[in-house]
Amino acid sequence: MSTAITLAAAADAERVLALMARYHEEAQLPHDDTHRATVAGPLLDGSPLGAIWLIGPSRAPLGYVMVTFGWSMPHGGLIGWLEEVFIRPSVRGRGIGTEVLHAVTVNLQRADLRAMHVFLPSDDAGLVRFCTRTGFRAVRTPTLMTDPL
């Protein structure tokens, strides 16, 4: 199996935002169209802070992957945060997600990415299995705290 991935750009905004809306509705996330456009817009315009890849044919994508970037002392440089992965329900269970995440991480390793992180809901065993299959492993970390500025 060889599923194409394409780095999304501003011309892909309509397709990306439609897929995001489907994912957010399915996951019951509170994000609206304005929020999605505000977050995705800079990444689609080439911001160095993250990227969005379309999965499958760019005219009729099967899904998307969003990764944001940061810098880490413990990891010695560039790190990624797997923010969102969405694959259309009609094509799930075929290994596409595993293949795509592998391709994204291989490409990011070439750009000297040192580690990829993901936050998972603790009650989603299927998502934990999926991430484990793609190379993620649970690590003991300090408690995450956020100051929403």
Average confidence score pLDDT of the chain = 92
What's the domain range around 62?
5-133
Whether 101 is in a domain gets the answer yes
- pTM of this prediction? 0.91
Q: Is 122 exposed, middle or buried (0-12, 13-18, 19+ CB in 10 A)?
A: exposed
Whether 141 maps to a domain, the answer reads no
Is 51 part of any domain? Answer: yes
How many domains is the chain partitioned into structurally?
A: 1
Only one residue has tokens 């456009």, namely 37
DSSP string over 66-84: EEEEEEETTTTEEEEEEEE
Residue 120 lies in a domain: yes
In a domain, 118, yes or no: yes
Whether 144 has a pLDDT exceeding 80, the answer reads no
Q: In angstroms, rounded to a whole number, what is the distance separating the alpha carbons of residues 89 and 76? A: 37
In this structure, what token pair is assigned to residue 9?
Answer: 């750009």
CATH classification at residue 67: 3.40.630.30
pLDDT of 1 over the 60 cut: no
Please tell me the predicted confidence (pLDDT) of residue 123: 78
Q: Is residue 74 part of a domain?
A: yes
**Cα distances (Å, whole numbers) of residue 128 to 32, 39, 119, 137, 138:** 27, 25, 10, 9, 9
* Three-class SS state of 90: helix
In a domain? residue 148:
no
Within a domain: 149:
no
67 within 8 A of 43, measured Cβ to Cβ: no
Report the chain's terminal Cα–Cα distance, integer Å: 44
36, pLDDT greater than 90: yes
